[in-house]
Amino acid sequence: MNFTRWSARLPGTQRRAAARDDRSSVPAARAEYARTEGTPAPLDDDAPAPSGTAVAEGLPGPALDDLSAREILGRLPAPVALLHGPDHRVAYVNDAYEAAFGPRPPGVPAAEAMPELDRLSVLPLLDQVLRSGTPRTVKSRRTTEGGSYTVTCTPIAGEDGVLVYAADVTDHAEAAERLRTSERRHRETAVTLQRSLLPQELEQPDDLRIAATYQPGGTDAAVGGDWYDVITLGAGRTALVIGDVMGRGVRAAAVMGQLRTAVRAYARLDLPPHEVIQLLDVLAAEIDASQIATCVYAVHDPNEGQLVYASAGHLPILVRDEDGTVHRAADPTGPPLGTGGWVHTSGTIALPPGSTAVLYTDGLVERRSEDIDEGVASLARALSGAKGSPQVVCDRLIRSLGVTAEHDDDVAVLVVQHPARTGTNAELFHNAALDLLGGIEAAPRARAFATGVLSSWRFPVELRDLGVLATSELVANSLQHGTPPMRLGLRRTDRRLIIEVTDGDDHLPRRRQAEPADEAGRGISIIASIATSWGSRRTPGGGKAVWCEFALPQ
């Protein structure tokens, strides 16, 4: 076998051969060897090197040209096999190969004598190597013996043979597997934390039907900080929230959890949407200024038939009318949370009966190959034809936008439907209102109005009396502490009776303990003791609204 034709293809031999051809280094190497061995160095640079020297390395030992191919291959610590002919008969295996896989009889085809090559996926490569004359490599394949190898098959020029060289990468493979296991556990921890911080069960308001979907990114994508929430505010009003922390992993999920908790706390103050976003902006900077988050906070009031919203760098709300027309919420949209220095404002978008609103995160519409506006347009087209329950609409939007289990980003979708009620179902929802005019005479008119309305709604006598009492106390409180214009509103749903009084004064009432000698201050305490819940808020045009609710018997 002509070793010089193919020895340069062995790993490491090119370096040694190049060193041997570098003639300028020979005299220095010889001189160094002579000094260490006590033998005078030859003066003639072209004289042959002393027998037994390895010129390329400058160290004692046989010269490369003095070794046979069998001797070199036998000294290699890596498994090596030589295969010959079209059926790849075993020509030679070195000691390292026998130690790893056992002895192999020469002259037998590799398909019969070397089953390990099949397990390493090497056998199909042998024919390719012979035909193309190009080396082929399979990386980090595991054997039944427990080791992992990277195998290179190199053609032997002019010899109709293949050199099989296996590098043991077991330690590297085990380290990589430990890393993958660690990353998998880290991801599972982040996903578990993320899901535990999301609402386990969505609140279902009287006037809306709501569903949400959260899907973490694929196994190669780190878990993000997408979140959503539904918060009932009282008096039939509902807050809808969706947001996205731009980081990844456990840290993003933890920041998301803090923001979601803060949103629920601020929502209980019943503030306008832009004020909630303003408070979140300050809080986000305090939590972690390096974590950018977007959020949209919207409030639905069944008496107004619209969403009042504020957005901090988030994607626009989409609303589908009953006829399939899709509207996109316009500005105002401020910068993301935590940037500071921006005065947020609120906007509105109609949500009439029969319509559907969709709030979503960028994972649903953002693709590397297209502008995000194109993704929003694709979502609008998908929404225009999406019918069914909120959960069905969620699933259809996910499928229409091509989101799979291996998606490269988290996706959160919140679908809100304002159903158009007809038939017997519509009979359970009523509204009645009265403008309170004429000063002190307004109180008896309000009581008479409430008595007539509650009787027409066929409430039990006990509930009707409680409703009239609550109406009297709310109106009296407004007449004493408020300013015109004043208005009484009564609303019933299939689950509750809501009584609300608005006036032009923006000082919110508070419950206090009245002393026995006090002639006033007991109205709110009476309402708190007889009603299921009560509350107050400032109205957008100035003034306030004070309300209470009574749960209806089911």
| Rounded Cα gap, residues 114 and 39, in angstroms | 50
Percentages helix, strand, coil for the chain (3-state, rounded to 5) are: 40, 25, 35
From the list 90, 83, 120, the residue with the least C-alpha distance to 106 is 90
Q: Distances in Å between the alpha carbon of 2 and those of 68, 93, 109?
A: 10, 17, 22
User: Do 54 and 61 touch, CB atoms closer than 8 A?
Assistant: yes
Q: Which residues of 352-382 are buried (b: 16+ CB within 10 A; e: fewer)?
A: ebebbbbbbbbbbbbeeeeeeeebbebbbeb
The structure tokens listed for 496 are 């509750």
List, in order, residues 6 or more apart from 234 with CB less than 8 Å away. Answer: 270, 533, 534, 535, 547, 549
Residue 308: left (phi > 0), alpha (psi -120 to 50), or beta?
beta
Query: What one-character-per-residue DSSP string does 5-32 give?
Result: HHGGGSTTHHHHHHHHH-GGGHHHHHHH
Strand duo 318-320 + 148-156: pairing: unpaired
Question: What backbone phi and psi angles, to 5 degrees, belong to 260?
Answer: -65, -40
Question: What backbone phi and psi angles, to 5 degrees, belong to 15?
Answer: -65, -40
Burial of 44 (0-12, 13-18, 19+ CB in 10 A): exposed
Q: What is the pTM of this model?
A: 0.69
pLDDT in tens, the chain (554 residues): 444 444 444 444 443 344 344 434 434 433 443 444 443 434 344 444 444 334 444 455 666 666 777 788 888 889 999 999 989 999 999 999 998 888 999 999 999 999 989 888 899 899 999 989 999 999 988 877 678 899 999 998 777 899 999 998 888 888 888 888 887 787 677 777 777 778 888 888 999 999 999 888 765 545 668 899 999 998 999 999 999 988 766 788 788 889 999 999 999 999 999 999 999 999 998 888 778 899 999 999 998 889 999 999 999 999 999 999 999 998 778 999 988 888 999 999 999 999 999 999 999 999 888 899 999 999 999 999 999 999 999 999 999 998 887 787 889 999 999 998 887 777 889 999 999 987 788 999 999 999 999 999 999 999 999 999 999 999 999 998 899 999 999 999 999 999 999 999 989 988 876 655 555 667 888 999 999 999 999 988 889 999 999 999 87
What confidence score (pLDDT) does residue 48 get? 45
The structure tokens listed for 259 are 């923001």
DSSP-assigned letter for residue 236: T
| Rounded Cα gap, residues 511 and 516, in angstroms | 16
What confidence score (pLDDT) does residue 428 get? 85
What confidence score (pLDDT) does residue 15 get? 38
Q: Please, what is the Cα angle at 553 between 547 and 554, to 5 degrees?
A: 120
Residues in the chain: 554
Bond preceding residue 155 cis, omega within 30 of 0:
no
What confidence score (pLDDT) does residue 26 get? 38
List, in order, residues 6 or more apart from 386 with CB less than 8 Å away. Answer: 320, 356, 392, 393, 396, 397, 400
- Residue with token string 């519409």: 365
